[in-house]
Each structure stands twice: as C-alpha cells, then as structure tokens.
Amino acid sequence: MHTKIRFTIPTPVWALFIACLIFHFFCTIQGWTWGFMLGHEFRQTQTALISYYIDLQDNFSLDYETPLFGPPWQMPLELPVYEWCVVWVKRVFGIKDFEAARTVSLTCFYAAFPAFYLLLGRSGLVPAHRLVVLALLLCCPVYIFYSRAFLIDPMAFMFSVWFLAAFVESMIRRQWRWWLLCTLVGSIAALIKSLVFLVWLFPAASYGAWSLWRDWQENGTRRALTTTVWGVGVVVLPYTSLRWWVDRTDAIKENPVTEVFTSKMLTEGNFGTYSLAARLSAHTWEHMFIRWSEAFTYWWSAGTIWLFGIMFCRTQRWRILTAIVLFMFGQFAFPYAYTGQDYYFYTCAAFGVMGMGFVVVGIWEKSRWPIWLRFILAALPFAALVTPYWRGYRPMQQVESHGGFGMTAALDYLLPNESVVVIQGEDWAAIRPYYIKRRAFMIRNGMERNERYMTWGLDNLRNESVDALMVDLSLSQREEWVADVTSRLNLNSWPTLRDNRFEVYFSPILDHELREIPEVVNFHEVRLVDAPSTDEEWWEPVRNLLPGKARRLFPVVNRDVFRYRIGYGYGLGDVQGTPALNFHPDSDLWVDAPVGPGRTEWRYGLAPAAYEKDGDRTNGVLFGLYAENASKERRSLFERKLRPTTEVSDRGIQTSLIDYVLAEDETLVFASRPLDSYAFDWAFFYSAKVE
C-alpha cells in the first residue's frame, strides 16, 4: 500500500515568509499615489503613453498608437495586454493610470508565486524549504522597486514563470490541461515581451532535452518520440504567434524614422545578440556588475554566498550551479540590454535569488553545525539583498514628486488637445509627451540633419495640427536648424518659451494668444521670451498653413485653407449663437479648390454691434470671391458691398450661391475689404461650402 508523505511547515518558516511578504508590500507601496515614475522613467512613460491613448480613444485593437514618432501613429512594440489591463483597472476602480499600472504590476508579481512554488517542489524541495526561497525572493531589490512600475515586464515575467511551471508539469504528468495551459501562457508571454520569454524558454528547453535523454535511455525510441512531441508541441503556438507579430510589426516599422525598431536592427544593435565582444568585454562586465548592485546584490556578495554553498552544501550543489547558469543566461544572450537597464534583471534575478535560497536550505540542513551559526549564515543572503535596496532604491522612493517639469505643465495648459509637438533633444524618451499629454514627433539624437529622416518625419506632419517645436539649447548651429524646421512647419522662427533645457517655438496664432495669458510665467523655471518688435500692431501678414492645421483653425470651410491673412488677427468664436470666424478687413483665405467649374455657398455678414451702436458705426465692407493666378493677379468671381447701417437687407447672415470656373493655375480666394474706413468693420465669415 502506497503511503503519501505529508510535510508540515514549521511556524517559524511561516513567520519568516509572512514577515518578508509584509516587508515587500510596504516597501513597494511607498509613494504609491505620487505620479513620478521612479526608475527609467523614459521607458515607463512610453508604456503609460500607450495606455493613455488606448483609454482616450477607447481603442482596444492591435493597431494601437505609440505617438512618439509622428504619423503614422501606429508603431506597435508589444501586444498591449498589459496596457489593456491597466485601462480596465483604471476604469473599474476610478483611479489614476499610474496607480492602475502599479496595481497590475504588483498583482502579476504575486501571481507568479504559485508557479514558483510548483517549480521549487519539482526541484526536490519540501514545502518549508520552498517558502524560505520565496521569502528570499521577496527581499530582492528589483522585485520590490519594479513591481510598482508602469512596465510590461512584471506581466511578461508572470506568464513566463507559469510557462516553465506548466511545461515541467506537462512533461511529468502528460496531461492535456497542463499542455494547454503551457501553450496559452507561453504565447501570451512571447507576445508581451519576447526577451523575457526567451530567458525562461531556456530552462524549459534544457529540461525538455534532459527529459528526452532520460526517456531514450530508459524506454527507447518510442518513448523518446512521445517526449519530443510533448516538448516541442507546446512551443509551436508561442513561436507561430511571435513570428506573426514580428512580421506584422516589422512591416509597419519599415520607414526612415522607425526602422531602427525592426527586429533585425534591435537584435544587432540594442541587444548585442551577435556580438562576441559585448560578452567578453571588461567594460561590459564593469557595467553589468553595477546593474547587479542596483537590482540584485553586489557581485562579491553573490559570488561569496554561491561559492560557500557549492563548497559546503553538497545536497544543494547542483541546484545552486543550475540557478547560477540560468541567472547568467539572459546577461550573456542580451548583454547590451542588461548593462544599460537595471529593470531587465526583473527577468532573471529570480534564478540568482533561488541560487542563494538553495544555499540557505543547505546551511539549515547542516544539523551538526551550531544553531546560532546556522542562523547567522542563513541570514546573510537576506542581508545581502536588503542592503543594496536600502542604500539604492529606498532613498529614491522617499522623494515626493508628481512627475513632469514646469515646461510640460505649461504646454499641457497652453496647447489645444489636438496639438502635435515636435521635440528635438531626447531621442524617444516619452517623459515630456506623456506629461504634456500630446502626440509628438521625437527626433532621434544625431538625426536632426539627416535629410531622408527629417523629410519623411516632417512631410508626414502635413495633415497634423503642429503647434509647438521644442529644441534643446545645446543643439549646435541651433538658429540655422530652427529656421529651416519652423519654415517647413509654418511656426514662428523666434521662441516663445524657454527653460533651462529647451526653447519652444509656437504657431503664430498660439504665440499671440498665450502672450495674453498671465499664468504662463507661473510655471517652474519657464520664462516668456520677448517677441520681435514691429511697427504695425494690427496688421497681420500672410501666413501659410499645413492641411492638418488648417482643418482645425478653419472648420467653417469644407476644404483646406492653405494660406490666410486676417485683419486684427485670427479669431474663431460665436456671433449671436452661430459659430463664426473674424473676417475684419483686410482678410483673405486661400482655399484648395478643384480646377474647372465649381460652386460655393458662402455665408457671411457683419456683427450687429457694428451698425446698431450709438455714435460712429461701420461704413460697410466689401465681400469678394476671386480667382488668383500664379502671378498673384486676381480675377473677380463675385463681389458684394454690405452697408448694414443704411440698408436693412444687408443686416444679419447673408448667403450667396456663386458659380465659377477656375483655370489650371488659379486658386480660390475669399476676401474682405473696407469701403471707406476700417472703423467698426466687424465682419464675420460664417461658412463656405466649396464643391
């Protein structure tokens, strides 16, 4: 009769685990409601920006926006499962996006623990020893600090851990439920972040190879073939899914601005996958060990603890060695990624911690050693993990900050919601676009004068409402470069705002408006730059427009206005309950109309106050429609003089149906001119339908 052995977990072990869990939880929630995203904020705000636009647009499709690279705004990086969950939590609980993200990340970290418990059990540890290892995992700096981050890594990590646990269970049990679970979580992990999944695929492949060898040795070819089918079958869907996603997204990224994010470029450049020098360089490991001291522990602490375990803990020796190999795999596979970003250790630090945990278990198994000595030695790995956290990440968490800068707050306050901002000086760091809450074309450092890159990026902005250009003050030959870009974007060539890092150039209309806003000087370190002096206070020059900006500025016209001049300045408002555009003489709107015969329905007029007021009143306004050729010569298509002061029929909104024929080189121009003087000529343009 088979007797099942039951293991009990001693109370001190439970106490240790619960104490570490409480420690982890309270360290993680420090500053939970503060908006500043500690730790590689550039990467966190990128994920946050994606989530923001998914929520704003209610867009839960695969064609989500990453509005950092200009149009086309769809530049998919990962399957946005994490971002979808963040938006859902934000909506359900009515909390801020970064609080929702922290909730999702922390939940994912804790949800990985049952899988770890299963894996440690399959490694041969009894329940009490498993909890000791998991308690140590709760003390690891990277799992405290980045389990509160706005990052996809905790979710990819959770699914990857469950993939490995389900893979081991399916290989042992040969049950379809485990096989299906393995396939499902593996596919999701690969699509969320393939670099995380690949690190956990390595131990799965190693275990699968060992299982195949064992079954072949013990049971022959037939059993080995069955093992192969079970082992290889679980990665078919994850591989197929990842291949489909990579091919799909690479096709979108194949353009001069985002081609650097294609899988080929990332593999060869960002990750150092094919570089032997990257793996063997002293420079690489100097920086790698710095990352260790931030995310894991000091290299000499880990080395000493592991070496001690290998030498004195014979029953745990192979477990320790295996854990070390798995810990190092990701760093050797993607050296550039790990040397540059401490949060990458979220993927692999668990293996290093488990190696230390096996040492603790081995120490405690030394029943002949004095108990006081075992207590001291077993406590050292905990101290080795907590100390770098307390010295490194912990002080950062004490600084209360809600994120952003004075300039980002100013632009968020000043810019229309539809505005697009062009930013030179921070690569693709999403920090400023996220806090400005506007789409951006972020110019990659060093590409400012690459004509292919800039032409593609700026030409794609023609249909967008570009209102601001941010330029790093350190840019060499800034004046020359700014003059070119502002000319192409139809922005002012002089700055409006400046802080200690950037100058900001606005569109003429917005520049004029914000100079009348006293609050602009109340933002931290933001200064208003004096505009060039002019002798003509009221006269507006002719200004060109990009199509996207025209549609926002001139919704009263159903076709694009590509050039305009408006007496006393642009102004779109409400006249007696009807939307209207200021059209005080002298005003002109150049409209993109088709060549040949056409018709327009034009609604226009003067404000009642212009002719109903006591005292001096308007002498009238000429409203005209003209065909202007390339030599700027005009041919009259329609003219009407309104004298509402003396003619009752000229009062109110006037409607004219005008038939015309445009020659090949002619443009349609709507215009207003004074009759005798400019006084009280409060003319308005209500609408025009050009067919």
Binned at pLDDT 50, 70 and 90, residue 501 comes out as very high
- Measured distance between the N- and C-terminal CA atoms of the chain, rounded to whole angstroms: 92
Mean pLDDT computed over 609-628: 92
Contact 186, 239 (CB under 8 A): no
Binned at pLDDT 50, 70 and 90, residue 485 comes out as very high
Supply φ then ψ for residue 248, to 5 degrees: -65, -45
Contact 155, 163 (CB under 8 A): no
Look at residue 33 and tell me whether its pLDDT is greater than 70. Answer: yes
pLDDT value of residue 4: 52
- Higher pLDDT, residue 568 or 84: 84
CATH class for the domain made up of 543-690: mainly beta
Partners of 603 in beta bridges: 655, 687
CB atoms within 10 A of CB 174: 12
If DSSP codes are grouped into helix, strand and coil, which group holds residue 234?
helix
The region, left, alpha or beta by phi > 0 then psi within -120 to 50, assigned to residue 461 is alpha
Contact 84, 192 (CB under 8 A): no
What percent of the chain has pLDDT above 90? Answer: 71
The model's pLDDT over 225-271, given as tens digits with 9 standing for 90+, comes to 888 888 888 889 999 999 999 999 888 888 999 888 888 777 765 55
pLDDT value of residue 275: 61
In whole angstroms, give the CA distance from residue 144 to residue 146.
6
pTM greater than the 0.75 cutoff = yes
CB atoms within 10 A of CB 213: 12
Q: List CB contacts of 483: < 8 A, sequence separation 6 or more.
A: 493
Contact 104, 28 (CB under 8 A): no
Supply φ then ψ for residue 317, to 5 degrees: -55, -50
DSSP string, 600-628: EEEEEEE-THHHHSSSS----EEEEEEEE
Question: H-helix or E-strand containing 465?
Answer: none
CB atoms within 10 A of CB 448: 20
Look at residue 615 and tell me whether its pLDDT is greater than 50. Answer: yes
pLDDT value of residue 133: 97
pLDDT value of residue 1: 40
pLDDT value of residue 7: 62
Burial of 629 (0-12, 13-18, 19+ CB in 10 A): middle
Partners of 659 in beta bridges: 599
Supply φ then ψ for residue 102, to 5 degrees: -65, -35
Contact 389, 24 (CB under 8 A): no
Rounded to the nearest integer, the mean pLDDT of the chain is 91
- C-alpha 431: how far from its chain's center? 8
Look at residue 215 and tell me whether its pLDDT is greater than 90. Answer: no
- Higher pLDDT, residue 237 or 211: 237
Contact 257, 70 (CB under 8 A): yes
Binned at pLDDT 50, 70 and 90, residue 613 comes out as confident
Give Cα separations from 685 to 387, 571, 581 (angstroms): 70, 11, 5
pLDDT value of residue 273: 53
Q: Encode burial over 514-534: b for 16+ CB neighbours within 10 A, e otherwise.
A: beeeeebeebeebebeeeeee
Burial of 46 (0-12, 13-18, 19+ CB in 10 A): buried
pLDDT value of residue 331: 92
Mean pLDDT computed over 94-117: 97
pLDDT value of residue 510: 86
Q: Between β-strands 667-674 and 621-628, what pairing exists: parallel, antiparallel or unpaired? A: antiparallel
Supply φ then ψ for residue 373, to 5 degrees: -70, -40
If DSSP codes are grouped into helix, strand and coil, which group holds residue 423?
strand
Supply φ then ψ for residue 201, to 5 degrees: -70, -30
The model's pLDDT over 405-453, given as tens digits with 9 standing for 90+, comes to 999 999 999 999 999 999 998 888 999 999 999 999 999 998 999 999 9
Look at residue 537 and tell me whether its pLDDT is greater than 60. Answer: no
- C-alpha 655: how far from its chain's center? 48
CB atoms within 10 A of CB 562: 17
- Parse the chain into domains and list their residue ranges: 406-528, 543-690
Mean pLDDT computed over 454-475: 93
Is the bond preceding 674 in cis, omega lying within 30 degrees of 0?
no
Partners of 469 in beta bridges: 422, 505
- Residue 292 sits at the vertex; the CA angle it makes with 288 and 295, to the nearest 5 degrees, is 125
Mean pLDDT computed over 175-203: 95
